């Protein structure tokens, strides 16, 4: 036991002596990271929704369901109801409810939200939510946030998919990938602070055209969902593990724990 602890202590000492911060040791570029993810996953598929109104519906199609189920519900509404405010407001409530049930728990609430989305678009935007795309980014974002479940991240993502984005919107999966690679600082009790920190760290590296920004958003999201899980990330199957600070952090934590036994 003494020999084991001594060996582990020696390894840990070398790690401490030879280390700068993890962020300094594992320096990559966003361009390099995204290229590796594209080699792994290919060109990411866009959601089937087009335009801000459909994208608001897309965001409200399901609750805690995988993407294939969200697509099923969305395309079912397109086929059986229609994806315009007028069509949704005129739809048979039983048809709406049948699709809402495919979208997860509390389907009645989901139907209510679909109707509210359609009603609000009709009353406030004359049934044409595309009109916000001619406004300033701040105005368009504010307009979208008036719809059910659409906060800052959702509004930014919708505008990104519409070709308007001054930066790279991130949802939780993409944010987790970037913090583990070494961008920004993770604030365990303050998601907003983590988000701000990462945005500041990537600001100088993000792509400038909407198409590449959209691809970056989707690739980071896919990697977070499929490999870089919240718990037990599959680092052994990660195409960017060599560029990532997280595996080394886990090893250092293990060494510390094992040495303390």
Q: Tens digits of per-residue pLDDT, 205-231?
A: 998 888 999 999 999 999 999 999 999
The pLDDT, as a whole number, for residue 210 is 87
The residue-averaged pLDDT of 244-253 equals 72
DSSP string, 156-172: HHHHHHTT--SS----H
Q: Give ∠ CA 199-229-246 in degrees, rounded to 5.
A: 65
The pLDDT, as a whole number, for residue 25 is 41
Identify the band that residue 46 occupies on the pLDDT scale cut at 50, 70 and 90: very high
* Closest listed residue to residue 55, CA positions, set 74, 72, 73: 74
Q: Which of 22-31, 46-55, 226-235 has the lowest mean pLDDT?
A: 22-31
The residue-averaged pLDDT of 54-80 equals 96
Residues 158 and 52: their CA atoms lie apart, in Å, by 6
* Closest listed residue to residue 131, CA positions, set 30, 69, 51: 51
Query: Exposure pattern of 91-126 as b/e (b: 16+ CB <10 Å)?
Result: beeeebeebbebbbeebeebbebbbebbebbbeebe
DSSP string, 186-207: --TT-HHHHHHHHHHHHTTTS-
53 versus 244: which is more confidently predicted?
53
Residues 48 and 72: their CA atoms lie apart, in Å, by 10
The pLDDT, as a whole number, for residue 208 is 84
Domain definitions of the chain by residue range: 2-44+169-259, 51-161
Q: How many CA atoms are closer than 13 Å to the CA of 174, on its beta-carbon side? A: 24
* Closest listed residue to residue 180, CA positions, set 37, 26, 66: 26
Q: Fold for domain 2-44+169-259?
A: Endonuclease Iii, domain 2 (1.10.1670)
Q: Whole-model pTM?
A: 0.81
- The reply to whether domains 2-44+169-259 and 51-161 share a CATH topology is no
**Which ranges of the chain would DSSP assign to H, the alpha helix?**
2-18, 22-25, 30-41, 51-59, 67-80, 85-90, 93-101, 107-125, 137-144, 152-161, 172-181, 191-202, 210-226, 246-259
Evaluate whether the domain defined by 51-161 bears CATH number 3.10.20.740. no
Residues 179 and 191: their CA atoms lie apart, in Å, by 12
Residues 183 and 164: their CA atoms lie apart, in Å, by 24
Six-digit token string for 185:
């600082």
Residues 159 and 133: their CA atoms lie apart, in Å, by 8
By the 8 A CB rule, do 101 and 107 touch?
Answer: yes
Identify the band that residue 147 occupies on the pLDDT scale cut at 50, 70 and 90: very high
* Average predicted confidence (pLDDT) for the chain: 86
* Closest listed residue to residue 165, CA positions, set 156, 155, 178: 156
By the 8 A CB rule, do 80 and 90 touch?
Answer: no
Identify the band that residue 127 occupies on the pLDDT scale cut at 50, 70 and 90: very high
Q: Which of 5-9, 28-32, 52-56 has the highest mean pLDDT?
A: 52-56
Q: Which of 31-35, 222-226, 244-248, 256-260 has the lowest mean pLDDT?
A: 256-260
């Amino acid at each position: 036991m003494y020999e084991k602890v001594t060996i582990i202590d020696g390894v840990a000492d070398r790690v401490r002596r030879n280390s700068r911060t993890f962020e300094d040791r594992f320096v990559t570029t966003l361009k390099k990271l995204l290229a590796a993810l594209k080699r792994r996953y290919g060109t990411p598929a866009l959601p089937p929704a087009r335009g801000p109104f459909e994208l608001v519906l897309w965001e409200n199609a399901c609750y805690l369901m995988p993407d294939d189920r969200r697509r099923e519900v969305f395309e079912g509404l397109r086929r059986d109801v229609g994806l315009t405010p007028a069509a949704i407001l005129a739809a048979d409530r039983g048809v709406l409810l049948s699709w809402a049930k495919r979208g997860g728990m509390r389907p009645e609430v989901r139907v209510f939200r679909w109707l509210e989305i359609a009603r609000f678009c009709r009353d406030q935007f004359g049934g044409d939510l595309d009109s916000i795309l001619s406004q300033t980014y701040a105005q368009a974002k504010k307009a979208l946030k008036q719809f059910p479940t659409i906060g800052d991240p959702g509004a930014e993502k919708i505008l990104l998919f519409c070709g308007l984005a001054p930066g790279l919107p991130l949802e939780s999966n993409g944010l987790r990938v970037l913090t583990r690679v070494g961008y920004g600082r993770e604030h365990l009790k303050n998601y907003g602070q983590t988000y701000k920190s990462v945005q500041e760290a990537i600001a100088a590296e993000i792509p400038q055209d909407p198409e590449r920004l959209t691809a970056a958003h989707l690739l980071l999201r896919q990697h977070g969902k499929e490999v870089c899980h919240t718990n037990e990330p599959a680092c052994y199957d990660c195409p960017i593990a060599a560029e990532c600070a997280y595996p080394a952090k886990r090893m250092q934590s293990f060494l510390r724990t094992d040495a303390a036994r």
